[in-house]
Amino acid sequence: MQAIILAGGKGTRLKPYTTVLPKPLMPVGDCPILEVVVKQLKKNGFKKLTLAIGHQKDLFMAFFGNGEKWGISIDYYIEKEPLGTAAPIRHIPDLDDAFLMMNGDILTDINYRKLFLLHRANNADLTIATHKRRQDVNYGTLEFDENQLLTKFSEKPSYEFHVSMGIYILSRRIVSYIPEEGHFDFPDLVHRVLTDGKKIHCHPYDGYWMDIGRPDDYEQAIEDYDKIKDFL
């Protein structure tokens, strides 16, 4: 099985932590975030891994090398300029018929192998791992009709919705939806594939998931790590 990890961003939301190290190389517990992911992928049976990198690329290459230390083959796609979260896929050669793609700043105990097999079993074009989130609104919310007459009032409501975990299984046949050149993000790919009537399967997951985007996320991940490390 093959995986692509997006690790080319500058991690600006995580400053000042990322002033020296790129976000995926920030430590949680006794190793970097991305090393946790690499170990998980190896444990789940993945053999080939491509790191899509750009910012501070030399640090990634020096740390991970060819992956021999972890028993997994690692190579690199190096962005000369930011291309977005989907465009790098177009430039990676020798893609398998189906492959995993994910962000490099995620801490989760999801079973990547099961997700991959689910994608196969569903004969999906794209599978998106999802997680339920709750958003609390600190105000009273109003709904009114075209005549500005109140139809509903809710005091500080909470809303639940599913969000993307930043973990995907793609069938190679949808790579053709990505332009040959230019900036292209993953939501753009989803819209194109969905508009064309292709099969996109959503996999709700209620286990542990942390998207380490902001300083408070990172601090929470450090706190959580000792509790969940045996499950990673």
Task: Show the domains of the chain with their CATH numbers.
Answer: 2-130+163-231 (3.90.550.10)
Phi, psi of 46 (to 5 degrees): -80, 135
Tens-digit pLDDT profile for residues 102-144: 999 999 999 999 999 999 999 999 999 999 998 888 999 999 9
> What percentage of the chain has pLDDT greater than the value 90?
70
**pLDDT(227) > 80:** no
Q: What is the pLDDT of residue 230?
A: 76
Mean pLDDT confidence for 132-157: 92
pTM: 0.88
Output 170 or 214, whichever has higher pLDDT. 170
Q: What is the pLDDT of residue 13?
A: 56
Whole-angstrom distance, CA of residue 205 vs CA of residue 192: 25
Whole-angstrom distance, CA of residue 47 vs CA of residue 71: 8
**Residue 152: CB partners within 8 Å, gap ≥ 6?**
142, 143
**pLDDT(195) > 60:** yes
The sign of the torsion formed by the CA atoms of 5, 112, 162, 121 equals positive
The sign of the torsion formed by the CA atoms of 174, 179, 182, 185 equals negative
Under a CB-based contact definition with an 8 Å cutoff, are residues 115 and 165 in contact?
no
Q: Which helix (H) or strand (E) holds 99?
A: strand 98-103
Q: What is the pLDDT of residue 10?
A: 62
Q: Which helix (H) or strand (E) holds 75?
A: strand 73-78
SS3 state of residue 58? helix
Whole-angstrom distance, CA of residue 230 vs CA of residue 227: 8
**Residue 215: CB partners within 8 Å, gap ≥ 6?**
14, 17
CA distances to 42, 151, 226 from 148, rounded to whole Å, are 58, 9, 53
At how many degrees (to 10) do helices 57-64 and 33-43 cross?
50
Mean pLDDT of the chain: 90
Rg (CA), the chain: 19
